[in-house]
């Protein structure tokens, strides 16, 4: 009994000693100056937006949300995009849309397959920054076969769920190194039976499909990695992510592969089912890969620091591009 009562006292003594050993350590490394950051993704058929902000030193005591925009003179700053070598370029206008990512600039331009985009930004007090990207061509996917089966309901769900095996084919154009992006999406006929579960109440709008699947499985070694985010995702707020695979497996040929969708709602609940597919150029892939690695490093006792991928010269950030395609799946 005496032995057991000593343990709390021993732990308390250790805590007191640990507190007494605390010491402030002065940072003696290089303090980096603020630099411009750009965040832009050129998506075929969608408006071209660029978010401009300022980086902050990681020991900065100010609120990060305010510091992102600190020092940016929007009255004298300019953001321009040059498409396919045009000399004059398109000046991008400051949009009133609010975003924690920075000031939003929008161009009167919609990216098209094959476009080459050069993005430049100049603001007083900062170095000029620039980046370039090639907009990929639309992917060429075919749905060859579909087979569904009811999943075993051993968790007390109110509705039946299904697995769907899909056999797909992609024909690569062999133009340059790139990646393919795949994400299953659906919209609902009526409310989701579990209420607050993934997707909640569906909109029923076939133009706004929602992510309702908890898993997408590749049944062969075609998968490169599964993202933790909806890179080109829906507006549903879910973040099951998507999968990438590389054209290094194909090299200008036609390639067949299989995937399995898990936890697909019963047919009477789904008004539209399909796959959001995209050709993603390498900057989008590497940025998303580094972002996923960063998320996995949070809170890990032995986690190593992860640097986000950047392709912005003179500053930080990402300019990437993708060409999306919707492939309908009969359900």
Condensed to tens digits (0 to 9), the pLDDT of residues 219-243 reads: 666 667 666 566 665 433 334 567 8
Q: What's the pLDDT tens digit per position in 84-134?
A: 999 999 999 998 766 667 899 999 999 999 999 999 999 999 999 999 999
Residue 153 in contact with residue 162, Cβ under 8 Å?
A: no
Residue 92 in contact with residue 107, Cβ under 8 Å?
A: yes
Q: What's the pLDDT tens digit per position in 164-202?
A: 999 999 998 888 778 998 888 877 765 554 433 333 334
Residue 266 in contact with residue 161, Cβ under 8 Å?
A: yes
- The distance from CA 243 to its chain's CA centroid, rounded to whole angstroms, is 11
Q: What's the pLDDT tens digit per position in 213-222?
A: 556 666 666 6
Residue 275 in contact with residue 208, Cβ under 8 Å?
A: no
Q: What's the pLDDT tens digit per position in 309-325?
A: 999 999 999 999 999 99
Residues 6+ apart with CB under 8 A from 278: 139, 180, 181, 182, 232, 322, 323, 324, 325
Q: What is the pLDDT of residue 242?
A: 74
Backbone angles phi, psi at 53, to 5 degrees: -150, -175
Residue 158, classified by CB atoms within 10 Å of its CB into exposed (0-12), middle (13-18) or buried (19+), is: exposed
Mean pLDDT, residues 148-154 taken together? 81
Q: What's the pLDDT tens digit per position in 1-30?
A: 444 444 555 555 555 555 555 566 665 666
Three-state SS for 91?
strand
Residue 281 in contact with residue 199, Cβ under 8 Å?
A: no
Q: What is the pLDDT of residue 239?
A: 42
Query: If you write DSSP's letter for every residue of 241-262 in order, what string do you get?
Result: --EEEEGGGTSSSEEEEEEEEE
Q: Where are the beta strands (DSSP E) in 197-290?
A: 215-218, 225-226, 243-246, 254-265, 270-281
Q: Considering the domain delimited by 36-134, tell me its CATH architecture.
A: Sandwich (2.60)
In the chain, pLDDT over 70 holds for what percent of residues? 66
Instruction: Parse the chain into domains and list their residue ranges.
Output: 36-134, 141-307+323-328
- The distance from CA 183 to its chain's CA centroid, rounded to whole angstroms, is 12
Q: What is the pLDDT of residue 138?
A: 94
Structure tokens, 78: 């300019």
According to DSSP, residue 309 is labeled P
This prediction's pTM: 0.78
Residue 246 in contact with residue 193, Cβ under 8 Å?
A: no
Q: What is the pLDDT of residue 105?
A: 95
Residue 235 in contact with residue 208, Cβ under 8 Å?
A: yes
Structure tokens, 27: 């940072």
Q: What's the pLDDT tens digit per position in 26-83?
A: 656 666 788 999 999 999 999 999 999 988 766 665 555 555 777 789 999 999 999 9
């Amino acid at each position: 009994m005496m032995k057991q009562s000593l343990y709390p006292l021993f732990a308390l003594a250790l805590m007191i000693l640990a507190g007494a050993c605390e010491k402030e350590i002065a940072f003696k490394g290089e303090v980096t100056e603020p630099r411009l950051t750009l965040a832009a993704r050129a998506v075929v058929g969608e408006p071209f937006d660029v978010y401009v902000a300022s980086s902050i030193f990681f020991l900065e005591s100010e609120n990060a949300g305010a510091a992102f925009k600190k020092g940016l003179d929007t009255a004298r700053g300019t953001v321009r995009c040059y498409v396919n070598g045009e000399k004059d370029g398109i000046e991008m206008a400051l949009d009133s849309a609010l975003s924690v990512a920075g000031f939003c600039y929008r161009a009167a331009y919609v990216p098209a397959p094959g476009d080459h985009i050069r993005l430049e930004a100049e603001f007083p007090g900062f170095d000029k920054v620039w980046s370039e990207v090639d907009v990929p061509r639309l992917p060429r996917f075919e749905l060859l076969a579909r087979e569904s089966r009811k999943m075993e309901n051993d968790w007390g769900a109110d509705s039946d769920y299904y697995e769907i095996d899909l056999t797909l084919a992609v024909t690569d154009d062999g133009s340059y190194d790139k990646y393919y992006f795949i994400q299953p999406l659906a919209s609902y006929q009526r409310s989701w039976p579990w209420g607050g579960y993934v997707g909640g109440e569906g909109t029923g709008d076939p133009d706004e499909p929602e992510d309702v699947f908890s898993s997408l499985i590749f049944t062969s070694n075609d998968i490169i990695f599964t993202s933790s985010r909806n890179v080109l995702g829906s507006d549903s707020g879910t973040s099951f992510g998507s999968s990438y695979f590389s054209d290094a497996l194909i090299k200008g040929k036609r390639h067949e592969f299989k995937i399995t969708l898990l936890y697909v709602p019963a047919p009477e609940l789904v008004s539209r089912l399909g796959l959001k597919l995209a050709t993603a150029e390498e900057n989008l892939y590497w940025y998303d890969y580094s972002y996923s690695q960063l998320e996995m490093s949070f809170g890990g006792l032995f986690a190593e620091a992860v640097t986000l991928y950047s392709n912005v010269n003179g500053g930080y950030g990402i300019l990437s591009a993708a060409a999306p395609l919707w492939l309908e799946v009969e359900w």
